[in-house]
């Protein structure tokens, strides 16, 4: 069974990787809801001057020094709430020195991640011994994908204001990715019918 799980996971991960490549490159689901910044060069010039370090930035910030007291934190939160209400607010992932687009290392990391996801999904499927039919096994893995698609995407929409269209598109992409894993893994990871059940069926 271990060899079947490994084979199902690897082949399922390959199927997921191919689907994600198709979804992003051809269908464009990864760019739904994303907009270009107007007057981008002026904005980038200001960022180069004021943001010398790479990082994951939230704005407006709390403006608290390390080790701030509880009283200072409470006061800062009140000011922060007003800043959020007045705007602007958002998040920024920033690389001042730039980086390669679609580098080989990124593709390999994504591929390896999909393989790991496929193996984990196949392992969970191997534990679901009550699922006798192919459709039920595919559905099991797809529901796991539904959980994965909801877990991060809905939280990012709720707390960070990610666009609803982006959230739906990306969750859809991930769920279909797990469906692809399920279609492959369910054909490989099967559960034998116990001898007693087989005998009853014959009787």
Alpha helices in 70-163 (DSSP H): 70-86, 104-127, 134-160
- Answer whether residue 202 shows pLDDT above 50: no
- Answer whether residue 194 shows pLDDT above 80: no
* Averaged pLDDT for residues 103-110: 93
Q: What is the largest CA-CA distance in the chain?
A: 82
- Tell me, what DSSP letter sits at residue 34? -
Cα 147 from Cα 154, distance rounded (Å): 10
Would you call the peptide bond into 82 cis, given omega within 30 degrees of 0 as the criterion?
no
- Answer whether residue 102 shows pLDDT above 90: no
Output the pLDDT for position 191. Answer: 73
């Amino acid at each position: 069974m271990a060899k079947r799980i490994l084979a199902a996971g690897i082949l399922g991960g390959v199927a997921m990787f191919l689907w994600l490549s198709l979804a992003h490159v051809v269908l464009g689901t990864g760019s739904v809801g994303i907009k270009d910044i107007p007057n981008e060069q002026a904005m980038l010039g200001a960022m180069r001057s004021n943001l010398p370090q790479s990082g994951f930035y939230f704005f407006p910030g709390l403006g608290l020094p390390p080790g701030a007291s509880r009283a200072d934190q409470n006061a800062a939160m009140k000011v922060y709430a007003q800043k959020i209400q007045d705007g602007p607010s958002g998040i920024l992932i920033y690389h001042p020195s730039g980086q390669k687009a679609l580098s080989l290392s990124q593709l390999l990391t994504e591929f390896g991640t999909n393989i790991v996801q496929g193996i984990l999904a196949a392992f969970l499927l191997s534990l679901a011994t009550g699922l006798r039919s192919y459709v039920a096994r595919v559905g099991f893995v797809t529901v796991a994908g539904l959980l994965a698609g909801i877990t991060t995407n809905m939280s990012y929409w709720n707390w960070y204001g990610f666009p609803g269209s982006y959230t739906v598109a990306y969750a859809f992409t991930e769920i279909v990715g797990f469906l692809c894993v399920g279609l492959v893994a369910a054909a490989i990871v099967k559960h034998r019918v116990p001898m007693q059940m087989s005998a009853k069926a014959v009787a």
